[in-house]
Structure 1
């Protein structure tokens, strides 16, 4: 039994096996937490297996996780299917539609020609079985990269926050059934090119204020994450600055945030869920803080040349997780390093009812 969270350390399920929920999120159904993400158990450098479906685990305490297997299993007999292991399927997100009763899962798929599209699945239960509703969506005619899905609790309206690949961030309204975009959208954080373009958007709301965490586009190598805030989903968004200001490495503690989870029964507990994709970086890396200071500092007057750091083909099956609580100075969120922490450090609040978030 585990009784604490140890960021960056290997996390094993209740069977003693590595947890595989990479690029993942948590959804609460009743009194149970479900953690789901990319299953990398069969992925190895050079073997052509990008994923082995979407895997899920359940827990009552966020420490100890029971393996539920692949809730969206890999499809082996159709190389064009978004869940074929060779397809570059990433970052599944699941939301619940109270009006239809369906759980709706969006998955990003990167194509070898550079295009990035989305596929949508639905199920009656969080654990499936899921039906492929549509594949290859190019929302609003755009290449859609990293994303988050958000449901407004007051009226059930849903939003799709995604990176328009290598360009800007888009906030788009979803249709009533959450399986497509409605056509209404807004644009934010326009950038000329990587690494400045923001990706990996992770949304949360606190005290009526909307927040986004994003990272720069530097491939598998982590970079400084950034918080922004707004009074509405469609902004305007104001950049608040570095999410990890006391991290001297300028790598967001060697991680990239995939989602932010608000604990339904603990006061002011927001957990940044991140992947540490590169567990053992090469020894011959450049001076990362100096490099990122040059590249990302808006007041820097020198050259801003960027060449992605070559990490080869990392073994993502060994990627670890970095879960850290977000702390607040007024309305300003920060993330500080903790070698170990517990849910019980945060005051308990009575639940308003069975949550589905």
Structure 2
């Protein structure tokens, strides 16, 4: 079986690989190596309601045009026979991020693993983007903190690495990485102190353009979409200035029913693409519904209530999650906007020399 041949992006529509199967690379990112793009992320093909399976490893796809993707398989497979492994399908492995070490050439992957209120981190290494990966540090707490959604950053000027993560239900942390990129040094800064969900910022997606650094984040409402926020700074450790929601035309305040996982700069062009997951393709409520639900739930916990259940607004089926890829538009003052497009092509977006 072969899939369709794409010549454009169609945000929110089902996206098939070259074999005709739905792409499974959620909460991940894209790396470009020698003219080939590699898109990797959580494989949710078996994460159906009631399955007890959170993930089935990290899957990777390759492409030369960003439209058509060939399945390269599970570059980090699940470990179903080891219940203690961070890669066991029943453990909440989320948001793999891979960077290439600028001096050794090795590929370093970080993952977070959720178990109830506990969130742990594991780092892995490989000689090739496609693996095999070996575990370096397993189930640790960076800086002694429960680390949630995150991004990895390599500064192009000096090759220094940074770990940008949500200190669970609290604030955003930017921490310096060790020289081998598999741990933190101990130096860090704190940002966006919002106390608790849904106000806590999560899912940080970093990019840099023309001397400015940017962070795209979402509020904390689980799988339910909410309003994004963009902030900018001149240095990694800030101070960061909040610019507001980059989706001002979205009256639903749901970032077009999407959570951005990363931002891709197309090599050689002043073109940046927000890569987002539409976790709930059939959920069309206003963002205020989930925001109010999470506010009520966490306010009750904050007041000392016990056994507070959270009602579901819909039944998530991550195996059916889709993707929303949209170009970023920049104002003269550095402002960022993301406009909705039913369909678009790379050549539709004006570009110049990248900064």
- Which TM-score applies when normalising by structure 2? 0.91
For 1:271, the equivalent position in structure 2 comes to 273
For 1:299, the equivalent position in structure 2 comes to none
Mapped to 1, the partners of 2:215 and 2:311 lie a distance apart of 26
1:231 aligns with 2:255: no
Q: How does 1:86-105 map to 2 (within 5 A)?
A: 86-105=90-109
For 2:17, the equivalent position in structure 1 comes to 13
Q: How does 1:1-357 map to 2 (within 5 A)?
A: 1-112=5-116, 114-266=117-269, 268-281=270-283, 288-289=287-288, 305=296, 310-330=312-332, 331-346=334-349
Mapped to 2, the partners of 1:27 and 1:274 lie a distance apart of 15
Give unmatched runs, 5+ long, in structure 1. 297-303, 353-357
Mapped to 2, the partners of 1:341 and 1:216 lie a distance apart of 27
Mapped to 2, the partners of 1:230 and 1:311 lie a distance apart of 36
Q: Contact between 1:25 and 1:258, CA under 8 Å: does it hold in 2? A: yes
Q: Secondary structure at the match of 2:153?
A: strand
Q: Secondary structure at the match of 1:11?
A: coil
Runs (4 or more) in structure 1 with deviation over 2 Å come to: 287-292, 304-309, 345-352
* Cα deviation digits, residues 55-87 of structure 1 (max 9, x gap): 000000000000001000111221111111111
Q: Contact between 2:86 and 2:113, CA under 8 Å: does it hold in 1? A: yes
1:288 CA drift (Å): 4.0
Q: Secondary structure at the match of 1:324?
A: strand
Mapped to 2, the partners of 1:295 and 1:240 lie a distance apart of 26
Mapped to 2, the partners of 1:39 and 1:220 lie a distance apart of 16
1:243 CA drift (Å): 1.6
Q: Contact between 1:26 and 1:34, CA under 8 Å: does it hold in 2? A: yes
* Cα deviation digits, residues 147-166 of structure 1 (max 9, x gap): 00000011110100000000
Mapped to 1, the partners of 2:293 and 2:207 lie a distance apart of 28
Mapped to 2, the partners of 1:150 and 1:137 lie a distance apart of 20
1:145 CA drift (Å): 0.1
Note closer, same or farther for the CA distance 1:124–1:222 as it changes in structure 2 (3 Å cut): same
Give unmatched runs, 5+ long, in structure 2. 299-309
- Which TM-score applies when normalising by structure 1? 0.91
Q: Secondary structure at the match of 2:143?
A: helix
* Cα deviation digits, residues 81-119 of structure 1 (max 9, x gap): 11111110000000000222210000010013x111110
Q: Contact between 1:248 and 1:289, CA under 8 Å: does it hold in 2? A: no
1:311 CA drift (Å): 3.2
Mapped to 2, the partners of 1:134 and 1:180 lie a distance apart of 8
Mapped to 1, the partners of 2:229 and 2:353 lie a distance apart of 32
Q: Secondary structure at the match of 1:184?
A: strand
Note closer, same or farther for the CA distance 1:92–1:336 as it changes in structure 2 (3 Å cut): same
Q: Contact between 1:221 and 1:309, CA under 8 Å: does it hold in 2? A: no
Q: Contact between 1:265 and 1:348, CA under 8 Å: does it hold in 2? A: no
Q: Cα RMSD (Å) of the superposition?
A: 2.0
Mapped to 2, the partners of 1:256 and 1:175 lie a distance apart of 29
Q: Contact between 1:274 and 1:322, CA under 8 Å: does it hold in 2? A: yes
Q: Contact between 1:195 and 1:306, CA under 8 Å: does it hold in 2? A: no
